[in-house]
Amino acid sequence: MGELAALATAVLWTLTSIFFTIGGREVGSGVVNRVRLALAIVFLMFTHLILQGTLFPVLVEPERWFWLGLSGIIGLVVGDAFLFQAFVLVGPRLSMLMMSLVPVISTVIAWVFLGERLSWLEIGAVSLTVSGIAWVVLERDNNPIEVDRRQYILGILAGLAGAVGQALGLVAAKKGLAGDFSVLSGVLIRMVIAAVVMWGLAAVQGQIRPTLSALRRNPYALKMIVAGSVVGPFLGVWVSLIAVNLARVGIAATLMALTPILILPAAHWVFKEKISARAIFGTVVALAGVTLIFMFS
């Protein structure tokens, strides 16, 4: 049951990346990020009420607020802003492949800043993951859509920046979740802080009215954003918690990391990408490295 839930999580996040890519190309990545945070909070509060008995976490220590808030700003505001821009520039396949670097970057950050030790096997797994991703993104004819070389490079860099943001956010979240604290409560706190910052910046920049206007002009984009928010932050988070609870963490994490492989057929049929044998092989190699990281951690 836990393994099936983990695989279902990967499928859900695959669908999420597709929905957000379509929505982002219609109204822009910034609009997608702002709206999906607001929607995700509503869905997560509903989930929190069912599982925890309250709409929002209560009696949370200030130190947890700090680390979870910092995690939300780095991971969800900054990291996801780059990720959604990568969706628009190079599509979901390469964007999600770059996001498979998150466990690699998290491992290195934990080694440098938290004093966690790396074995030679873990170093080898990190190298394998990086090699697989490099093999894909350096392919001469790997442009997923009809874009110029500059846009392709910017998209890859945006995906990399998104992975770094997510990794830093996870390291901060680890400190905020230390001890016996609900992961779901932590996710909700991260979302709320991120939404406050994101919409606060939008207000300062005068982007609230343009955001709402863009959605009114393009109901199709709104449908895609709502679908992505339901499938990912709501169902995805819920099912991932079931997976981690019922399956061994390493196995669950490995299955949940299969999104870059599951997205290959969708990238071909939905976004008309040409998927080469090299791209498939490099993706499999990268995820093999991710699997080894989880096995050895």
Q: Closest by alpha carbon to 194, among 38, 52, 30, 20?
A: 38
Instruction: Using only the alpha carbons of the chain, give its radius of gyration.
Output: 18
Domain ranges in the chain? 2-296
Q: Are 21 and 224 a contacting pair, CB within 8 Å? A: no
pLDDT at 120: 86
The CA distance from 96 to 111, in Å, is: 24
Mapped onto helix, strand or coil, the DSSP state of residue 54 is: coil
- ∠ at Cα 55 (50, 59), nearest 5°? 115
pLDDT at 30: 94
pLDDT at 244: 66
Question: Is residue 52 packed enough to be buried (19+ CB in 10 Å), middle (13-18) or exposed (0-12)?
Answer: middle
Ranges of residues in the chain whose predicted pLDDT is under 70: 140-147, 241, 244, 249-250, 297
